[in-house]
Structure 1
Amino acid sequence: MAHQPAVKHRRIGQRSRAYRASATARDIRNLIDANPEWGVSNFGQTPYVDAQNGQTYQMYEMTRDGYSMLVMGFIGNLSARSG
């Protein structure tokens, strides 16, 4: 990841009732697949240890640009559902 990470994908899932962390990770993978060069420079995968069960999982860190692109997709999905 070329830029400093701004947020971790798990925080989005924890803060939003509309999206689970697993769905957020899926959407990030889709963004990376759609444009690998841009995706690699804006999203980075890193392990974390769950405090409750002690297991290691993967999480994404993202730049501000990555976060903005991800959230724009969420807003479009919410608009489509309510329209």
Structure 2
Amino acid sequence: MPGVNLEVFKFGVYLMFPIGFMYYFGVNLDNRFSVPDFWPKPDECAKLPRDREELVAEYKKMVEAQKRRQERLQAAAQRRPEDQE
């Protein structure tokens, strides 16, 4: 039966290629594909208000920020016609 050795070799390649592939890419995946400091630390995240006083304080901060933004936009709109003339 000629070509038996070739068939055994092909079978070995077909069998060992996926095993070698999984061994090469499957070992130490955490160190190889991880990004250090990807997730923020808890102290770097925004803290959600837990009670009513914190909620009111956060709302006041948001209102003040919105007022400052509106004032800045109005000032920019008033300056804009002067620049175009």
**What TM-score results when the alignment is normalised by the length of structure 2?**
0.26
More strand as a share of residues:
1
- Which of the two has higher C-alpha Rg? 2
Greater relative contact order (CA < 8 Å, ≥ 6 in sequence):
1
**What TM-score results when the alignment is normalised by the length of structure 1?**
0.27
More helix as a share of residues:
2
